[in-house]
Amino acid sequence: MSRYRLPVAVLLLAIVATASTSGASLYRIKSGDTLSGIAHHFHMSLHRLVAFNHLPGPGTTIYAGATLRIPTGPPRHTAAKPARTTHTVVSTYIVKPGDNLTAIAKRFRASAHRIAAYSHLRNRSMIYVGQRLRIPHDVRTRGGSSGSSASHGAYQLSGPAPSQATVAAVLRATARRWHIDPRLVLAVGWQESGFNQRWISSTGAVGAMQVEPYTGEFVSKYVVRRHLDLHKISDNATAGVALLTVLLRETHGNAAKAVAGYYQGLASVQSRGMYDDTKRYVANVLALRNRF
């Protein structure tokens, strides 16, 4: 999911210092900034700010005039962190009619040059239907761990990767359980990851449906009401499909607006309109829907 993605409405707000409490400063909320912008301004993670204020999630609706608590002390867990390491995970993509290398690179958020190099292409402008391309993804971890580091948004999925056919089958079945058009879910899944459950974005979005960890937590607690492990394809599909269901309900079944909300954040779409990259994303998803 993109950097704009949030599960529910986030109002613009700004902050003015009003008081101080033990371990925290109090700020009165006014128009002018975003919750993520406040976290960045005070050099803390969005997750910490949300947790410190006991908010339901990063997309919580916040009202002007209310107060927000800003932690003044260090995070509870301050143990030294191991150095970051980066390694490359390579997935395989089979060229389809209408594909070109530039579009494939954008779809997978990868470098066309690196795809060409890893796939041993002699001519980057000539690829053919049925050709297997190797798509390199750089994954950052700490200390070589195969687990996750939520505070730094870097995730690596462990275990064997399900095939594209398996991912498609899970997405289709999950869509039917949630009474949502399976073609739309498949289109979003393909646009997001190419049905690659191993794919981790630079922002930490996980798996086939590219669900941000904080979005997964929100959906777990307030939509499906059970723990979801985004590393598992079944739960990853549930998180993505449940979020799409909520967005479709909020947009009265408008697929284009729901898809835009999945990518950019519905509050942002409603207040600012679709960004240019959001328009391209929506157009791609709706076109893909007709192919499934």
Least confident of 6-10, 12-16, 70-74, 272-276: 12-16
260: enclosing H helix or E strand: helix 255-264
Tell me the chain's radius of gyration from C-alpha atoms: 20
Do 14-71 and 83-144 share a fold? Answer: yes
pLDDT tens string 191-236: 888 898 888 876 678 899 999 888 888 899 999 999 999 989 999 9
Q: Is the pTM of this model over 0.75?
A: no
Pick 49 or 62 by higher pLDDT. Answer: 49
Type of residue found at 127? I
148-149 and 132-142 strand pairing: unpaired
- Angle at the Cα of 144 from the Cα atoms of 143 and 148, rounded to 5 degrees: 85
- The structural domains of the chain, with segments of one domain joined by +, span 14-71, 83-144
Proportion of the chain above pLDDT 90, given as a percent: 27
Q: The tokens of 176 are what?
A: 């039917």
Give the three-state DSSP class for 29.
strand
Q: How many Å separate Cα 139 from the centre of its chain? A: 15
**Angle CA 134–135–141, to nearest 5:** 130
Q: May I ask the CATH architecture of the domain 83-144?
A: Roll (3.10)
Backbone φ and ψ for 150, nearest 5 degrees, come out as -60, -35
CATH of domain 14-71: 3.10.350.10
CA angle at 190 for the pair 264 and 148, rounded to the nearest 5°: 70
